[in-house]
């Protein structure tokens, strides 16, 4: 088994690890509402995936009206 003869310095180690940064997430455009979304995920704005509605959202006017009744 290969074993290093000398210890690698921290500067050399850190130079190598400087390239191991996290990349920004890639965003695709939703074909229906054109908002940015992650690939292979349901659109958070309109709730569609692969051309069909997967998650149904209530319009904001209905959601606010129901929320006011529950709190009051």
Asked if the structure places residue 49 within a domain, the reply is: yes
Q: Domain of 42?
A: 28-72
Residue 71: is its pLDDT beyond 70? no
Asked if the structure places residue 64 within a domain, the reply is: yes
pLDDT in tens, 17-69: 999 999 999 999 999 899 999 999 999 888 899 888 888 877 666 666 766 65
Q: CA separation (Å) from 64 to 35, 57, 59? A: 23, 13, 9
Return the pLDDT at 67: 66
* Number of structural domains the chain divides into: 1
Name the nearest CA neighbour of 33 among 17, 18, 51. 51
Asked if the structure places residue 69 within a domain, the reply is: yes
pTM of the model: 0.52
Asked if the structure places residue 53 within a domain, the reply is: yes
Asked if the structure places residue 55 within a domain, the reply is: yes
Asked if the structure places residue 3 within a domain, the reply is: no
Asked if the structure places residue 40 within a domain, the reply is: yes
Alpha helices of 3-59 — where are they, by DSSP H? 10-17
As given in the structure block, the two tokens for residue 57 are: 């959202």
């Amino acid at each position: 088994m290969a074993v290093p003869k000398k210890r690698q310095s921290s500067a050399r180690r850190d130079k190598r690890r400087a390239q191991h940064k996290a990349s920004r997430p890639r965003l695709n455009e939703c074909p229906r509402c054109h908002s940015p979304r992650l690939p292979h995920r349901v659109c958070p704005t309109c709730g569609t995936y692969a051309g069909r509605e997967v998650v149904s959202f209530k319009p904001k006017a209905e959601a606010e009206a129901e929320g006011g009744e529950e709190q009051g």
